[in-house]
Chains A and B, each alone.
Chain A
Amino acid sequence: MTKIELTVDGASVSDDVEPRMLLVQYLREKLGKTGTVIGCDTSNCGACTVHLDGTSVKSCNVLAVQTNGRTVTTIEGLADAAEGELHPVQESFRECHGLQCGFCTPGMIMQAVDLLAENPHPSEEEVRLGMEGNLCRCTGYHNIVKSVLHAAEQTSAGATS
């Protein structure tokens, strides 16, 4: 067991974990952050995407011990849901019907937030390439792509107004 201390969704947490424990297992099993889900075991699907120090990572591809001293943000900490707030990307997914069953959605949203942070005005092509590491089986990606483009528009409209 190794002791780790980190910040998750704004709260400092500390646990003893097995060195082999994946970040996604830590989030789900130790912290009850079940908004982040596991969809595959080969880091193909991206359902477990979270932000590590502000950058998107597949949390099945990171060991919990690697996050010691760092900051993790999950879908549950993206906006203050208790205050009824939504991140603009969350809002866009709802507005554009960018989800159906919703299982891939946390990962999609976390990846989209990262993509837009890097490239606030992406083309459709850039969105499609930027979201390539996240699989969805329901939407055919059409409305996911639309959601990301819509979020970009909203953000830039907000910035200029």
Chain B
Amino acid sequence: MTATQDRPAAEIGKDRRRKEDQRLITGRTRWTDNITLPGMLHLAMVRSPFAHATITSVDTEAAKASKNVVTVLSGKDFGEELGVCINAWPITPDQKTPGHSPMPADRVAFAGEIVAVVVARSAAAARDAAELVDVEYDELPAVVGIKKALEDEVLAHPDLGTNKSALWVFDSQDAGTGGEVEAAIEEARNGGIVIEREYRQQRLIPAFMEPRSVVVDPTGEQLTMWSATQIPHILRFALAATTGVPESKIRVIAPDVGGGFGGKLQATPEEWIAWAVARRLMKPVKYTETRSESLMAAHHGRDQVQTLTLAADKDGKVTALRVHLDADLGAYVAIVGGGVPVLGAFMFNAIYKFPAYRFECQTVLTNTTFTDAYRGAGRPEATYAIERLMDELAAEVGVDPLEIRERNWITHEEFPFTTVAGLEYDTGNYEAATAKAKESFGYDELRREQAERRERGDRVQLGIGVSTFTEMCGLAPSRVLGSLDYGAGGWENASVRMTPLGKVEVVTGASAHGQGHETAFSQIVADRLGVPFEDVEVLHGDTQVAPKGLDTYGSRSLVVGGEALVKAVDKVIDKAKVLAAHLLEANADDLEYSGGRFTVRGTDQGMGIQELSTATFAGHDYPDGMELSLDADATYDPVNFNYPHGTHLCAMEVDTETGAVKMRKYTCCDDIGTIINPLIVAGQVHGGLVQGIAQALWEEAVHDESGTLVSGSFVDYLLPTAADTISFDVVHTDEPSICTTNSLGTKGVGEAGTIASTPAVVNAVVDAVRHLGVNDIQMPCTPERVWRAIHAHDGDAPTPQAAMPHFEEGALNQDEGAGQ
């Protein structure tokens, strides 16, 4: 028990291989769908094919008569025990919020909404019988698309009288953080530069790899829900608040969860229905969605129209930014809902010193799948807008895009810096990140190649895209959330338990679903407490094990949850010191703690923390007044957000004849403060990059005019594959800007790649063809859109006959017998 003291070098900063991998690579996993309980019944959902319709009747007779079916229930079979799906962030006091039943009895508001549930002895029997449920609908006109919704001619919810849910405004003049926007824009119209653009943030689908699944077991004293969720603690709270079951009778477990990206930050109709059915039948039930159901009914992300006005003097120094967003909430205001675009409000000014800023966000309801958080949540949209605009400004002024940024960014000597949006950025060094990224990217050489290709008039043109981003992450100071009318706090809880034989159990309220908390948190505790990495066990994701917490999203687990851990460890050491002083017969003031061991200054006497843990278990000898335990817990509420930043550079090749684009190189230099585990950080960056790149190039959730999701399978919703992507060049600054508002100096990294990469890619594509008269291409930049942008100024000349020999009668290259 004394082996604990010869520890290896510091754990923080080490590229530890992950503890969680052994199970995952051998298939020894606990996905929710893997869970089978005795007597368990299976659910299948009957979903509306119409985007907007009155339910006139639900005939369940044939389904009920079907073999192995236990029962079929529709909305009218439930009362208040079904609960409601909540909106935790009403962004204004007068927000219009339609009631959101998990299973409405009277009217559906989007295609995919659940109207009945079949309960059967097997999943297959349930699904078969779901086909037999005969629902009669009276179809109502559906409103699809932001612009249609704003017209208020067709209403998503007729009883609300409007599709406009809330208007949220921030104005720097009113807030006292900056000047008047209108005056600055007027001034720029006379002798300065005004850039006005409308950008579209297309709707995306989080598309986590593990479809959502929920198991509810009502047979114990506590009702237990296993769910593929990011938010077990918030779920317990919401179940208690809306279904009348006391919190103390609810246990929620997030077992192995296969990705989330914000998509599993929701209190879902499916969970609430499973809860109600299990309680009704008093039998365990399971529901696992199909991928099509997931794409159709799990929440979507993004979906904004951004109307932007940037004013600058003739040298490109920005004088004002005005932002108007119209954001599509879909059919309901989901758990965070309109709060997602509002999170972007503080980020449009990004890394720049803008003197005046106004932001308005109009949220609208439509008859489509509801939207909510998707990786970055509000911040990718903001970063896209400003980073695209800065490139446009550079083009207008006629300087390099990095030069225009430098003229406007906060210099490293100016930190801490209070922005025009009212946030205080503690640290950052945009110059250093940019210099490092440029060097690693080979910026000047690629610019030279670009010039040569333009000169030669190459068919394949090269474009270089820049994105110098920052973000606010580590959600969040509870008081700030309170001032924004968010329904919860942003603190996190941790506890440290010392076991009798000297192992360490760490309990965290963060709920990992791929982030590697078990490894990174073990590294933090190993260093702080001075115990071997292997001796630390991180427990999470079960409200019975980790009763307090606010879960994982918004790049918060390390910067908030990790800090709670540090505070709990410090309490353990303080408690142990009292015992150590007693057992070593020394004055506590003479004790030093290092490497997991208390030593008496000036002597060779000492005792390890793990020995002290065993001594506490025995309890044979301890000082009067000491509580016989070393365990401690701590709650940490951050005092500020933290502000990672980075410079991302992307080189894209664009085939000007076909519109096809190809990524040539991508370099990013992220400054995220102290790095706990570089391997995990790189993984977060890579994955984030591809999600952001996918928005730029491939992904889009498309509804047709009647509100049917056209991209409702992986055949139609284009997730990138290994063959579509490249290996990335990920670097960091030599001297990171250590976060000053937490003791580890860490900043969030989970969303950075996604936030930064989208504008870098689109800027590169536009840069490749700007000399052909292009200044914007709508996302995703498909070959068709790129080709059309290049040829937008060609006029309406018909395609020459010579260009379509395949269609000519008797053309040589036609298949013989074609068309017969």
Residues of A participating in the B interface, judged by any CB pair closer than 8 Å: 18, 25, 28, 33-42, 44-45, 47, 74-76, 78-79, 81, 86, 90, 93-95, 97, 99-106, 109, 124, 127-129, 131-146
Indicate which residue in B24, B713, B715, B753 contacts A102 across the interface (CB closer than 8 Å).
B24
What would 10 more interface pairs be, CB under 8 Å, given A44-B715, A138-B514, A141-B720? A81-B26, A93-B21, A94-B18, A101-B208, A103-B210, A134-B721, A137-B691, A140-B753, A141-B721, A141-B722
Which A residue's beta carbon lies closest to that of B34?
A34
Contact assessment for B25 and A100 in the assembled complex, using a CB-CB cutoff below 8 Å: no
Known contacts A41-B290, A135-B719, A137-B687; A101/B258 CB under 8 A: yes
A137–B687 alpha-carbon span in the complex (Å): 7
B contact residues around A131 at 8 Å (CB) = 721-723
Most chain A C-beta atoms within 10 Å of own C-beta, residue among B34, B290, B686, B691: B686
Q: Does B17 contact A (CB under 8 A)?
A: yes
A contact residues around B257 at 8 Å (CB) = 101
User: What are the nearest 10 A-B pairs in CB distance?
Assistant: A35-B27, A101-B514, A103-B258, A102-B24, A140-B690, A44-B714, A140-B686, A75-B27, A100-B514, A34-B34
A34–B23 alpha-carbon span in the complex (Å): 12
Known contacts A34-B34, A86-B25; A100/B210 CB under 8 A: no
Contact assessment for B292 and A140 in the assembled complex, using a CB-CB cutoff below 8 Å: no
A35–B35 alpha-carbon span in the complex (Å): 12
Known contacts A34-B34, A131-B722; A93/B209 CB under 8 A: no
Name the distance in Å between B724's Cβ and chain A's nearest Cβ.
8
B contact residues around A136 at 8 Å (CB) = 209, 722
A contact residues around B514 at 8 Å (CB) = 100-102, 138
Contact assessment for A76 and B722 in the assembled complex, using a CB-CB cutoff below 8 Å: no
Known contacts A44-B714, A97-B679, A97-B680; A81/B28 CB under 8 A: yes
30 A-B pairs, CB-CB below 8 angstroms?
A34-B33, A35-B26, A35-B28, A75-B26, A76-B28, A90-B26, A94-B17, A97-B17, A97-B679, A100-B687, A101-B257, A102-B25, A102-B258, A103-B258, A106-B25, A109-B25, A129-B722, A129-B723, A134-B721, A136-B722, A137-B259, A137-B261, A137-B691, A138-B209, A140-B691, A140-B725, A140-B728, A143-B686, A145-B727, A146-B727
Which A residue's beta carbon lies closest to that of B26?
A81
B contact residues around A140 at 8 Å (CB) = 686-691, 725, 728, 753
The interface on chain B, measured as residues whose beta carbon lies within 8 A of the other chain's beta carbons, has a size of 55
Which A residue's beta carbon lies closest to that of B122?
A29
Name the distance in Å between B717's Cβ and chain A's nearest Cβ.
9
Known contacts A94-B18, A100-B683, A132-B722; A40/B515 CB under 8 A: no
Q: Does B29 contact A (CB under 8 A)?
A: yes
Contact assessment for B513 and A99 in the assembled complex, using a CB-CB cutoff below 8 Å: no
Name the distance in Å between B735's Cβ and chain A's nearest Cβ.
25
Q: Does B401 contact A (CB under 8 A)?
A: no
Known contacts A42-B715, A139-B687; A34/B209 CB under 8 A: no
A contact residues around B727 at 8 Å (CB) = 124, 142, 145-146
A contact residues around B28 at 8 Å (CB) = 35, 76, 81
A137–B694 alpha-carbon span in the complex (Å): 11
Interface string of B194-212 (1 = CB under 8 A from A): 0000000000000111110
Contact assessment for A128 and B723 in the assembled complex, using a CB-CB cutoff below 8 Å: yes
Name the distance in Å between B746's Cβ and chain A's nearest Cβ.
19
Contact assessment for B26 and A102 in the assembled complex, using a CB-CB cutoff below 8 Å: no
A124–B753 alpha-carbon span in the complex (Å): 23
Contact assessment for A37 and B210 in the assembled complex, using a CB-CB cutoff below 8 Å: yes
Q: Does B291 contact A (CB under 8 A)?
A: yes
A contact residues around B211 at 8 Å (CB) = 38-39
8 Å CB interface, B510-528 against A: 513-516
Indicate which residue in B24, B33, B124 contacts A105 across the interface (CB closer than 8 Å).
B24
Known contacts A76-B27, A102-B258, A145-B727; A94/B722 CB under 8 A: no
Contact assessment for B24 and A95 in the assembled complex, using a CB-CB cutoff below 8 Å: no
A65–B725 alpha-carbon span in the complex (Å): 37
Most chain A C-beta atoms within 10 Å of own C-beta, residue among B17, B24, B513: B24
Contact assessment for B29 and A101 in the assembled complex, using a CB-CB cutoff below 8 Å: no
Contact assessment for A103 and B259 in the assembled complex, using a CB-CB cutoff below 8 Å: yes
Contact assessment for B683 and A40 in the assembled complex, using a CB-CB cutoff below 8 Å: no
Interface string of B249-277 (1 = CB under 8 A from A): 00000001111010000000000000000
Name the distance in Å between A86's Cβ and chain B's nearest Cβ.
7
Contact assessment for A137 and B209 in the assembled complex, using a CB-CB cutoff below 8 Å: yes
Q: Does B2 contact A (CB under 8 A)?
A: no
Which B residue's beta carbon lies closest to that of A91?
B25
B contact residues around A35 at 8 Å (CB) = 26-29
Most chain A C-beta atoms within 10 Å of own C-beta, residue among B18, B259, B292, B679: B259
A45–B290 alpha-carbon span in the complex (Å): 13
Q: Does B586 contact A (CB under 8 A)?
A: no
Known contacts A75-B26, A100-B687, A141-B722; A40/B291 CB under 8 A: yes
Known contacts A37-B210, A103-B210, A109-B25; A135/B721 CB under 8 A: yes
A137–B699 alpha-carbon span in the complex (Å): 13
Q: Does B590 contact A (CB under 8 A)?
A: no
A146–B722 alpha-carbon span in the complex (Å): 11
B contact residues around A103 at 8 Å (CB) = 31, 208-210, 258-259
8 Å CB interface, B693-721 against A: 713-715, 719-721
A30–B53 alpha-carbon span in the complex (Å): 40
Known contacts A37-B210, A95-B17, A124-B727; A74/B686 CB under 8 A: no
A contact residues around B33 at 8 Å (CB) = 34, 37-38
Contact assessment for B690 and A99 in the assembled complex, using a CB-CB cutoff below 8 Å: no
A33–B28 alpha-carbon span in the complex (Å): 9
Known contacts A41-B292, A132-B721; A94/B25 CB under 8 A: yes
Contact assessment for A135 and B714 in the assembled complex, using a CB-CB cutoff below 8 Å: yes
A142–B728 alpha-carbon span in the complex (Å): 7
B contact residues around A86 at 8 Å (CB) = 25-26
Name the distance in Å between A65's Cβ and chain B's nearest Cβ.
15
Name the distance in Å between B694's Cβ and chain A's nearest Cβ.
9
